[in-house]
Structure 1
Amino acid sequence: MYPPVDPIIFQFGPLALRWYGVLMLAAILVAAWVASREVARKGEDPENLWDMLVWILIPGFIGARLYYVFIQSPRGESGLGYYLQNPSEILKIWGGGIHIFGGFIAGGVALWLFTRIRHLRPLPYLDAIALGLPLAQAIGRWGNFINQELYGPPTTLSWGLRIDPQQRIQPYNDLSTYPESTRFHPLFLYESLWNFLGFAVLFWISRRFQKDLKEGDIALLYLIWYPLGRFFIEFLRTDSWFFPGTPFNMVHILSAIAIMIAVISLYVRHSPSATHNPNI
């Protein structure tokens, strides 16, 4: 498995068009189109969804980047230490290094503020975004492939990923121990496939059980599906900071919390007592 193209499509002086940015843009537009169709299906104005994008994307990307830099990145000269010594690098999102959980937090707050200002019901929009989000993640992860990032430990599996020595992090940049022939787990691929499958599952549920679903259920199902896959993939991460002496990091904690909250919420909302209270 080899990176098929140079990360830069073309460059004019200091300006460069990168595959990472193109894939991120494609992911956003595809997901927004899916979400707008879902919003219209629910009887809401899809134009509100497109207006909402600006409100969500800017704080979402900032939150995702800051989360990666200060919480997820490895401790040491190749991670947090590098960003602290070079603060101008912190906001260079196009070079890779964002984290979806930071985007969840900042984007969720932005969505809530937008719906409050526009006097909109937030749950239909939250469901629509949750439906399109796995598709965006599945597409966007291929930017990690081109940037030669988001890989796991060495593997002998046939789909192992080759990483150029200059793109490796410690200890895998030691060519005496890990020669250029070493292949690594393609974590971007695992997560991309999990998200493609998640989109298919959520889409099927949204149609098959539409009479039984309440507003907000698709968002809750997403908060089960994605964190479940991410919880296990995270054990193979090589670019994360882990709690000392453990195989766990902050993502494991946040994933477990999200899953528990979503499962309990779905149970409460669909319990027999909830049928008498449609607002649950």
Structure 2
Amino acid sequence: MTNSVLLALNPIAFNLGPIQVHWYGIIIATGVILAVALAVAEGNRQGIKDDDIYDMILWALPAALICARAYYVIFQWSYYSANPGEIIKIWDGGIAIYGSLIGAMIVVILFCRNRHIPVWKMLDVAAPTVIMAQAIGRWGNFMNQEAFGKVTSLHFLQGLHLPNFIINQMYISGAYRQPTFLYESVWSFLGFLLLISLRHNPQLFKRGEVFLTYVMWYSFGRFFVEGMRTDSLYWGPLRVSQILSICLFVGSLIIFIVRRHRNNDVWYVDDNSKQKIKGEV
């Protein structure tokens, strides 16, 4: 344990008087800021006003944070019921990505209906930026030494050609651990590159399919990464995130196939393109 403490990076970035600013929060905030900037840029291409995106974020972020924490607390209720004062301490980690996605999704749907913005259009705009933020956010878990996997060896980690600062940070509770945070971060970043590279290709995606592809991509990778983690949330003997990953992947695939065979969906292209097919957005 002593070696773990000596080698670990300090999760506190700096102090503002009595207030400790955690790397976890800085990294999450960085991901959100970049995601908003990219969403605004893509929103302009799709005819969505900047103010609509900013207003939506003002509602979606608090909902995502509350639901992310609530999701985690619910499945760890045996601990938090005995320690209610710990519920608000999100700076120590313990927020669930799936919870945040559920909360944000509800807000996006309600917001778009209120502003008369096509929901699928907004989801397509947001999807690549969200998975990019997820890729960045996992490094907050890295700084907190959480979201790690089973015990492994120094030789294995060195065989992955990881820099020493990652290897050292993976020495937790007296043993080296699988860097599952890194596996998910890389998978998410690859998904981000895939989506932004392909989404503007003519007649590749129909409206809504960028979002559905994001859901399938993330849930597929998360299923396998979750199986390697040692801090999973459980529902009985089952890992909650694996159950949800299967449901999301299958559900998105079915919706993708059904909508693909409909004749009234436009292709995912910007509003100025002449290759748009007449239909519903």
TM range (shorter): 0.7 to 0.9
Structure 2 unaligned runs (5+)? Answer: 159-166, 266-278
1:144-173: per-residue Cα shift (whole Å, max 9, x none)?
Answer: 1111111110112125553343xxxxxxxx
2:93 to 92, 96, 102: 96
2:231 matches 1:232: no
In structure 2, C-alpha distance between the alignment counterparts of 1:235 and 1:241, rounded to whole Å: 11
2:195 equivalent in structure 1: 202
In structure 2, C-alpha distance between the alignment counterparts of 1:258 and 1:65, rounded to whole Å: 20
In structure 2, C-alpha distance between the alignment counterparts of 1:93 and 1:206, rounded to whole Å: 34
* Contact 2:215/2:248, CA 8 A, preserved across alignment: yes
1:161-194: per-residue Cα shift (whole Å, max 9, x none)?
Answer: 53343xxxxxxxxxxxxxx3x2100111001000
TM-score when normalising by structure 2: 0.83
In structure 2, C-alpha distance between the alignment counterparts of 1:61 and 1:109, rounded to whole Å: 13
In structure 1, C-alpha distance between the alignment counterparts of 2:9 and 2:228, rounded to whole Å: 25
The residue correspondences of 1:123-202 to structure 2 (distance < 5 A) are 123-156=120-153, 157-159=156-158, 162-165=170-173, 180=174, 182-202=175-195
In structure 2, C-alpha distance between the alignment counterparts of 1:267 and 1:67, rounded to whole Å: 30
Moved beyond 4 Å, runs of 4+: 1-4, 276-280
In structure 2, C-alpha distance between the alignment counterparts of 1:31 and 1:54, rounded to whole Å: 13
2:215 to 213, 220, 223: 223
1:123-151: per-residue Cα shift (whole Å, max 9, x none)?
Answer: 22111111101110111110111111111
One-letter identity of the residue aligned with 1:60: A
Count residues in correspondence.
253
Q: What is the Cα-based RMSD across aligned positions, in Å? A: 2.1
One-letter identity of the residue aligned with 1:251: S
One-letter identity of the residue aligned with 1:145: F
* Contact 2:120/2:207, CA 8 A, preserved across alignment: yes
In structure 1, C-alpha distance between the alignment counterparts of 2:263 and 2:170, rounded to whole Å: 54
Q: Report how far residue 3 of structure 1 moved.
A: 6.7
TM-score when normalising by structure 1: 0.83
One-letter identity of the residue aligned with 2:242: H
2:240 equivalent in structure 1: 250
SS of the residue 2:94 aligns to: coil
In structure 1, C-alpha distance between the alignment counterparts of 2:196 and 2:7, rounded to whole Å: 31
SS of the residue 2:81 aligns to: helix
In structure 2, C-alpha distance between the alignment counterparts of 1:40 and 1:142, rounded to whole Å: 30
1:191-220: per-residue Cα shift (whole Å, max 9, x none)?
Answer: 100011010011122022x43422211110
SS of the residue 1:275 aligns to: coil
Greater mean alpha carbon deviation, residues 229-238 or residues 261-270 = 261-270
2:38 equivalent in structure 1: 34
Structure 1 unaligned runs (5+)? Answer: 74-79, 166-179
- Identity among equivalent pairs (%): 37
1:214 to 206, 211, 220: 206
One-letter identity of the residue aligned with 2:13: I
